[in-house]
C-alpha cells in the first residue's frame, strides 16, 4: 500500500519531506470549525429526522462550491469535474458547467499556468466533448509558444503530449519531440536536468530508446557541472528517479553526490521507488541513509509499502524508525521524526501506533501522527479511521484526513459523509468529496 501523505511542519532544509503545513492555504474559504464535539456528532449514529440526500442536489452544491474557489486554475478543473458528473443527470447544466470551466481556464493570468490549466480541463472533458477539448489543447500549445523560457515550453508540450497520447498519437509524438528540443535548450543546469528527466519519463510512452537517451543526457549534464550544491541536488533527483528502473544505475548516480543531505534525499527516494517490489533491499538502503530524520521518514514509508504482505520487513522498519527517532533531541526535528515513527507502526500494530503517537511531547506532532495513522486505516478499518480523526485537534490536519475518509465513507453512508464533507477546509477538496458522495446517490 502506498504511504499516506504526511502532514508536517517545516523545520529547515535537511529534513523529511513536508507534504502539508499548519497554515491556511489559498482556496480554503470559510468553514465551520471542526470541534471534537462536532465531529463526535457527525461520526455517531445517524440522526432521525434528516432529509434524504439527492444526487442532483449534491452535484449542485459541489457546483456552487467550485464557483467560489479563488484560484482560477483550481476553479476551472473543479468545474470541469462537476460538468462531467452532471452529464448523465442534467446534460444542459453540464454544458453550462463546462463553459464556466473553459472560461476560468482561459482567464488564468500567468501564461504557463493558463496553458497547463487548459490542458487539464481538456483532458477531463475529452470523452464527452472532444471538439471543445481539441480547441483547448490547441490554445494550450499556442500559449506555450508565447512563454519566454524553454523550460516552461518543454513542460507544457510534455503535459499536452501525455494527455493526447491515447487519442491523437501523431500529434502527441510531435509535441513530445518539441518538448525534448526545448529541454535541451534550457540554459540553467538544474532546470535543464529536471526538464530532460521529465521528458525522458514521458517519452517512455512513445519511444523507449529515446527516453533512455534523454535520461543519459540529464545524468551527463549533472555530472559535468562544477562540484557544489547545484550538482549534488541534480544528481539526487536523478538517482531517485532512476531507482524504479534500475537500482544499480541509481546507486551509480548517487555515488557522485558529496553532500550528506542531498545523498540522504536521494537514498530516501530510492527506498520509496523500490519499497513495494524489493522491500528487503529497500530496508538495507534505508538503514544506510546518513541524515537521521530522512532515514526515519524513509523507514516509515517502507513500513507502509511492505505492510501486511511483508510483516517482518514492516516490523523491522518500524523498530529502526523508532530507535532512530528516539536518538534525536525533542525539538521540532525530533518530534517530527517521532510522529513518523509512530505512524510506521500502523501497518503492524495500530494500538501501538496510537499509543506511541499520544506520547509525543508536542501536541502539534501528535496530530501529525494521528492524521497519518487515520489515512492508513481508511483502507482497512474505516470506523477506526473516523475515530482517530476525531482525536485530531488542529483543523487543517483534521481536514486533510477527512479528504480521504469522506470518499470512502460515501460508499456506505452518504449522509454521514456529507456531514463531514462540509468540514473540509480546502474548497477544491470539498468539491472532490461532494462529487464522490453524489456518485453513490440516486
Virtual CA dihedral for 285, 286, 292, 298, nearest 10 degrees? 140
Nearest-Å Rg of the Cα atoms of the chain is 23
H or E element, residue 171: helix 169-184
How confident is the prediction for the chain on average, in pLDDT? 88
| pLDDT of res. 309 | 86
**In this structure, what C-alpha cell is assigned to residue 318?**
518500524
Burial 229-255 (b: 16+ CB within 10 A, else e): eebbbbbbbbbbbbbeeebebbbebbe
Q: What is the pLDDT of residues 47-86, one digit of tens each?
A: 434 568 899 999 999 999 999 999 999 999 999 999 999 9
Contact status, residue 217 vs residue 198, Cβ threshold 8 Å? no
| pLDDT of res. 245 | 86
Q: What is the pLDDT of residues 163-182, one digit of tens each?
A: 999 999 999 999 999 999 99
| pLDDT of res. 41 | 39
Q: What is the pLDDT of residues 356-409, one digit of tens each?
A: 999 999 999 999 999 999 999 998 899 999 999 999 999 999 999 999 999 999
How far apart (Å, rounded) are the C-alpha atoms in residues 268 and 310? 19
Going 370 to 375 to 376 to 378, the CA torsion angle's sign is positive
For residue 196, pLDDT beyond 90: yes
Q: How many CB atoms lie within 10 A of CB 172?
A: 22
Virtual CA dihedral for 63, 65, 70, 75, nearest 10 degrees? -30
CA atoms within 13 A on the CB side of 301: 25
Determine the distance from the C-alpha atom of residue 214 to the mean position of all C-alpha atoms in its chain, rounded to a whole number.
26
pLDDT category at 162 given cuts 50, 70, 90 is: very high
Judge residue 276's burial from the number of C-beta atoms within 10 Å of its C-beta, 0-12 exposed, 13-18 middle, 19 or more buried: middle
| pLDDT of res. 36 | 37
Give the residue-averaged pLDDT of 299-310. Answer: 93
Q: What is the pLDDT of residues 89-147, one digit of tens each?
A: 999 999 999 999 999 999 999 999 999 999 999 999 999 999 999 999 999 999 999 99
Contact status, residue 4 vs residue 372, Cβ threshold 8 Å? yes
For residue 10, pLDDT beyond 70: no
| pLDDT of res. 45 | 40
User: Of 367, 341, 337, 363, which Cα lies nearest the Cα of 352?
Assistant: 341
Q: What is the pLDDT of residues 13-25, one digit of tens each?
A: 333 333 333 332 3
| pLDDT of res. 51 | 63
Degrees to nearest 5, angle at CA 237 with 191 and 151 = 20
How far apart (Å, rounded) are the C-alpha atoms in residues 420 and 172? 41
For residue 33, pLDDT beyond 50: no
Maximum CA extent, the chain:
70
pLDDT category at 244 given cuts 50, 70, 90 is: confident
How far apart (Å, rounded) are the C-alpha atoms in residues 291 and 311? 25
Q: Write the CB contacts of 110 (distance below 8 Å, at least 6 apart in sequence).
A: none
Least confident of 5-9, 204-208, 387-391, 402-406: 5-9
Determine the distance from the C-alpha atom of residue 423 to the mean position of all C-alpha atoms in its chain, rounded to a whole number.
21
How far apart (Å, rounded) are the C-alpha atoms in residues 376 and 316? 18
Q: What is the pLDDT of residues 148-158, one digit of tens each?
A: 999 999 999 99
Q: Write the CB contacts of 253 (distance below 8 Å, at least 6 apart in sequence).
A: 219, 235, 238, 239, 242, 266
Backbone angles phi, psi at 225, to 5 degrees: -70, 155
Least confident of 3-12, 239-248, 325-334: 3-12
**In this structure, what C-alpha cell is assigned to residue 397?**
490536519
| pLDDT of res. 21 | 31
For the entire predicted model, the pTM comes to 0.82
Q: What is the pLDDT of residues 247-304, one digit of tens each?
A: 999 999 999 999 999 999 999 999 999 999 999 999 999 999 999 999 999 999 999 9
pLDDT category at 46 given cuts 50, 70, 90 is: very low
User: Of 112, 115, 136, 113, which Cα lies nearest the Cα of 124?
Assistant: 136
Give the residue-averaged pLDDT of 316-338. Answer: 95
For residue 40, pLDDT beyond 90: no
| pLDDT of res. 152 | 96
Amino acid at each position: 500500500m502506498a504511504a499516506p501523505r504526511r502532514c508536517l511542519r517545516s523545520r529547515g532544509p535537511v529534513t523529511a519531506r513536508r507534504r502539508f503545513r499548519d497554515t491556511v492555504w489559498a482556496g480554503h474559504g470559510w468553514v465551520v470549525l471542526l470541534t471534537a464535539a462536532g465531529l463526535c456528532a457527525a461520526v455517531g449514529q445517524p440522526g432521525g429526522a434528516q432529509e434524504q440526500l439527492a444526487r442532483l442536489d449534491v452535484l449542485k452544491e459541489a457546483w456552487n462550491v467550485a464557483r467560489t474557489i479563488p484560484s482560477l486554475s483550481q476553479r476551472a478543473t473543479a468545474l470541469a469535474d462537476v460538468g462531467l458528473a452532471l452529464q448523465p443527470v442534467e446534460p444542459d447544466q453540464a454544458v453550462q458547467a463546462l463553459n464556466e470551466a473553459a472560461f476560468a481556464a482561459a482567464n488564468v493570468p500567468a501564461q504557463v499556468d493558463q496553458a497547463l490549466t487548459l490542458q487539464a480541463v481538456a483532458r477531463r472533458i475529452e470523452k464527452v466533448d472532444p471538439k471543445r477539448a481539441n480547441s483547448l489543447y490547441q490554445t494550450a500549445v499556442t500559449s506555450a509558444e508565447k512563454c519566454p523560457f524553454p523550460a516552461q515550453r518543454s513542460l507544457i508540450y510534455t503535459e499536452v503530449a501525455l494527455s493526447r497520447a491515447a487519442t491523437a498519437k501523431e500529434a502527441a509524438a510531435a509535441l513530445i519531440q518539441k518538448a525534448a528540443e526545448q529541454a535541451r535548450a534550457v540554459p540553467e543546469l538544474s532546470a535543464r536536468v529536471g526538464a530532460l528527466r521529465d521528458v525522458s519519463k514521458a517519452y517512455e510512452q512513445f519511444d523507449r530508446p529515446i527516453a533512455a537517451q534523454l535520461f543519459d543526457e540529464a545524468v551527463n549534464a549533472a555530472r559535468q557541472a562544477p562540484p557544489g550544491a547545484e550538482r549534488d541536488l541534480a544528481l539526487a533527483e536523478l538517482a531517485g528517479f532512476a531507482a524504479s528502473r534500475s537500482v544499480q544505475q541509481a546507486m551509480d548516480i548517487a555515488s557522485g553526490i558529496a553532500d550528506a543531505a542531498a545523498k540522504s534525499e536521494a537514498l530516501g527516494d530510492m527506498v520509496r521507488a523500490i519499497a513495494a517490489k524489493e522491500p528487503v533491499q529497500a530496508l538495507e538502503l534505508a538503514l544506510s541513509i546518513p541524515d537521521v530524520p530522512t532515514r526515519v521518514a524513509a523507514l516509515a514509508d517502507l513500513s507502509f509499502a511492505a505492510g501486511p504482505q511483508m510483516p517482518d520487513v514492516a516490523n523491522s522498519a518500524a523498530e529502526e524508525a523508532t530507535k532512530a527517532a528516539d536518538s534525536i533531541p525533542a525539538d521540532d526535528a525530533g518530534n517530527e521524526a517521532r510522529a513518523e515513527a509512530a505512524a510506521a507502526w500502523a501497518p503492524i500494530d495500530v494500538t501501538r501506533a496510537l499509543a506511541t503517537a499520544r506520547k509525543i511531547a508536542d501536541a502539534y506532532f501528535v496530530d501529525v501522527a494521528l492524521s497519518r495513522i487515520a489515512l492508513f486505516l481508511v483502507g482497512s478499518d474505516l470506523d477506526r479511521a473516523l475515530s482517530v480523526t476525531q482525536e485530531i485537534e488542529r483543523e487543517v490536519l483534521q481536514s486533510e484526513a477527512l479528504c480521504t475518509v469522506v470518499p470512502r465513507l460515501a460508499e456506505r453512508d452518504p449522509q454521514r459523509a456529507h456531514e463531514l464533507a462540509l468540514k473540509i477546509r480546502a474548497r477544491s477538496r470539498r468539491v472532490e468529496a461532494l462529487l464522490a458522495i453524489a456518485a453513490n446517490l440516486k
